[in-house]
Amino acid sequence: MSVFRKLFGVFLAALLLGGALKVGGDLKAGPEIQGALKPQAVHREAAEEIVDRLDLHYSRLSFDDALSERVLEQYLKDLDPNRLYFTRKDIDDFQIYRDQLDDQLEDGELEAGYSIFNRFQTRLEERLTEILADIKAGFDDWQFDGDEQVLVDRSEAPWAADDEALDAIWRRQLKNAVLSMRLNGTEDSAIRERLTNRYESQLNRVRQNTAEDVFQTYMNALAQSFDPHTNYFTPHNSENFDISMSRSLEGIGAVLQYEDGYTKVVRLVPGGPAAKQGRLKPADRIVAVGQDDDDLVNVIGMRLDEVVDMIRGPKGSDVQLEVIPAGSASEHDTRTVTITRNKVVLEEQAAKKEVIEFDHDGDKVKLGIIEIPAFYMDFNAFHRGDPNYTSTTRDVAELLVELRKENVDGLVIDLRNNGGGSLLEVNKLVSLFINRGPTVQVREAGGRVSVENDQYPGMLYAGPLAVLVNRYSASASEIFAGAMQDYGRALIVGDQTYGKGTVQTLLDLNHGKLKMTNAKFYRVSGSSNQNLGIVPDVNMPSLIDKDEVGESSLPNALPWDEIQPADYERYQDLMPLLPTLRERHDQRIQNNPEFVYVEQLRDLVADANRRHELSLNADQRKAWQDQYDQKRLAIENALRKYRGEEPIDKMEDLRKLEEQRALDPEASEEPMNEDPYLRETGHILADMVGLLRDQRVASQDS
């Protein structure tokens, strides 16, 4: 199994692949490598160059014994995240490297990385061979009536003492797989076929590993020890990176990363096929890929670039993805998603507006809404000097002029699911809502702080403003929301944002590329966006699990910190209003069926995910599943009753309904005027306007 660590935010599921592999001669004499796979001279040279470049990383980590230990732990986690292959003896043998990796890497010596990987390769082949033999022997006589349990997450479990202990762990893993599929109605013959295909696919992939595979895995363990956005790309994958930065992408429109043996969905491109289809979600893990009506091919353990190559394809063709839904307690509780490939063009992510009207405390309120899916610009046209280049700010400015003509009482900027984009565009967008001043600060690795400023005097819109965000609002979105909050220019409403506050640069190497964090974003108040994100003034209920999604969920994420504030002036202090705004908001939503649905479903899923162990007793598992399904249906039917829809009797019917919605997502897309989050944001904004008016009246009377 080839293992690649979190190439975060790089691969869109439409990349064209290719690239040449440099081949060098033999290495100079060094520690003897145990095993068949050995590095080439070009790998040694690249390792030395990577070490030199990492000396300039923002975190300024020293190449010392502490870093050596960190890299070793990261490498072992990357290779065997669930502790299913190495035994305690293997781990003890590797301890000789705990204080040696820094010295070896500085000398371009790769003995530790290759020797550990070769041991892993051996253990993996042995285990997969044994598993396939167990499956072939059949499981008709397996008992599912005792008190046996299986650990859901083994990432923090003790390493197995020996092979006999590992045999017991794997027996429980296989029993859990069989029981999960039986409870889903899968016949034993189909279970045997699925498991056989899965493990044969992994075994075949393992036997294709090359020295280049080992080098990328080891270098990414080193890079990821600095922070999760620092990555090494082989020449082959660096070409994919270049293509992913282009403005037109063909495929499903999803950003993928490798994590713990799986291809994980990081985010969906707004306006892309996957986002429109609606069933693929961030944090879902892809376990198999199929073309049109062909059989699904298992991709667990497969290289990320290989998976991307399978997912991409011509416009109009279908791709089937078997995924483990985010938060699923079992890797065998999967669903199949079919997506029609299409061209993803950034212009399709253009900002759009709508006006909704609602009653607030007896008054009619007209609310303007501008949805911004991404901070886009046509860089090529911009550099050519084309005055009509595609621009987020230009589009929003035109929409603001149109909304002013409609005499809206307030404005909501909707940044939900906006993963960021152009720094130039977000700075210009801030300028539409402030007179003049700093927009964001950037601190470089050496400590120098630069301040980006609004170069355009005057405000295009000076009225009441709210910014709606969620956990998928990141990077440039956080810069805009943070500036609006610091200036007191807008209320921030929604969920705590992603927390991506770092800046990366792409460095060419003699063999591949290194993407390295070299700066950090800071708000004008001096607070970092990193890790913490933007904390809303008023929180909305959310289904997103912060432990699964967000910077704080990533290993070795750089911490939140502060620097000196920039020179700026607040327009108004909204802090004194927040307790009243929050209280009124809570009163409104506590009995609102739309928000009650979100909170109850979130709590139900959270309770299920808190289970550390699963029973291998069939009756107990079925009883738990039946109880869960009943609660899930009750939550769903309460909302359906509120909406005037017929109740659903069985979970099978609910799943079929979700499938139908996925086949025609645009038909079920909720209009802005029916979006409960937008309507509630409007109520919050109307409350703010009333409180500010009361403040002014009280000030005049005094």
Give the integer Cα–Cα distance in Å for 634 and 632.
5
CA dihedral sign of residues 269, 274, 279, 282:
negative
Give the integer Cα–Cα distance in Å for 226 and 218.
13
* Residue 335, strand partner residues: 323
What the block records as the tokens of 388 is 């009509």
DSSP element (H, E) containing 352: strand 352-360
For 78, other C-beta atoms within 10 Å of its C-beta total: 23
Would residue 264 show up in a list of annotated catalytic residues for this protein? no
Catalytic residue among 90, 213, 305, 486: 486
Give the integer Cα–Cα distance in Å for 427 and 281.
30
Would residue 500 show up in a list of annotated catalytic residues for this protein? yes
Ramachandran bin of 104, using left for φ above 0, alpha for ψ from -120 to 50, beta for the remaining angles = alpha
Residue type, 6: K
Cβ within 8 Å of residue 635, ≥6 positions away: 597, 600, 601, 604
What the block records as the tokens of 515 is 């993407």
By the 8 A CB rule, do 678 and 468 touch?
Answer: yes
What the block records as the tokens of 701 is 């009377």
By the 8 A CB rule, do 191 and 136 touch?
Answer: no
Residue type, 344: V
By the 8 A CB rule, do 251 and 35 touch?
Answer: no
**Alpha helix ranges (H) inside 207-255:** 211-224, 235-244
Catalytic residue among 475, 477, 525, 615: 475
Ramachandran bin of 420, using left for φ above 0, alpha for ψ from -120 to 50, beta for the remaining angles = left
Catalytic residue among 6, 353, 428, 500: 500
Give the integer Cα–Cα distance in Å for 5 and 223.
9
Strand residues in 149-252 grouped as ranges (E): 149-151, 231-233, 248-251
Give the integer Cα–Cα distance in Å for 421 and 424.
9
Would residue 77 show up in a list of annotated catalytic residues for this protein? no
Catalytic positions are 475, 486, 500
